[in-house]
Amino acid sequence: MANNALQRFSSNFSVDSSNKVVYSIVAINIAVFATWQYAEENAKRFRDGRLYYFMYRNFTDTAHNLKEGRVWTLVTSAFSHKEWYHIILNTMVLLSFGDPVWRMLGTRKFLAVYLGSAVSASLASISYYAYLEPYLRRIQNKPKSNSIHYSMGASGSLMGMTTAFACVYPMSQYSLFFVINMPAAALIGLFGAYELYNVLAANTGRFDSAGHLGGGLFGAAYYFTRLRPLIRTMGRR
């Protein structure tokens, strides 16, 4: 039984070495992560926070950055990770889903979904924490959050990518926690329901549920507006 679980786990990472798109995204994520580590170490050891401040201004998703005209942060924040667990988890998901989605869409459409989901996730996150989250806390008698919100990470893009894939191939088998097999539509549906609960309950923490939902909604919208008509034209549905 343990061997079967290990085989299911390893089968999720069969990325073709010729897939330069997926590996390029992984490489960019690692480079930005390494820069964050260097910037933090510089700030702690030498009290030089210039690089850290540059990274915060250019690689995080915040309302302040958007108001000051740094619109590129809607995309660059999706390639930005500071914690080890964050980049490892997102890299695992990207290597698991990236290759089949790229093969399904091709490079141009893959990047459209990936980057479009990044922008959608960033805008959803900013809007939620600026408007909806304070309202939900007020009507639920929860204390007002005084923390300054910022978001980063590839999760929104990954949610859009996996949602688009699940819409096209809803019964394809993928693994929950890389062990329990279930249809892709069920896996994405469960994750989306969990994130929606967190959003409506104003359960804000280290994970940006609003951003995840924003990315997933873009993936679904791309399927219904671009992929589904194309599939019907090709006679598949």
Q: CB within 8 A of 164, min separation 6: which ones?
A: 101, 105, 113, 219, 220, 222, 223, 227
pLDDT digits 0-9 by tens, 44-68: 999 999 999 999 999 999 999 999 9
Specify if 2 maps to a domain: no
What domain range is 179 assigned to?
17-233
Q: Is residue 114 part of a domain?
A: yes
Whichever domain contains 173, its CATH number is 1.20.1540.10
- Sorting pLDDT into bands at 50, 70 and 90, what band is 175? low
Q: Would you say residue 50 lies in a domain?
A: yes
The predicted-structure confidence for 119-133, as pLDDT tens digits, reads as follows: 999 999 999 999 999
How many domains is the chain partitioned into structurally? 1
Task: Examine residue 51 and state whether it is found in any structural domain, yes or no.
Answer: yes
The mean predicted confidence, pLDDT, of the chain is: 88
In a domain, 12, yes or no: no
Q: Confirm whether 7 is domain-assigned.
A: no
Which DSSP helix (H) or strand (E) runs through 108? Answer: helix 84-127
In-domain check, residue 10 = no
Q: Is residue 1 part of a domain?
A: no
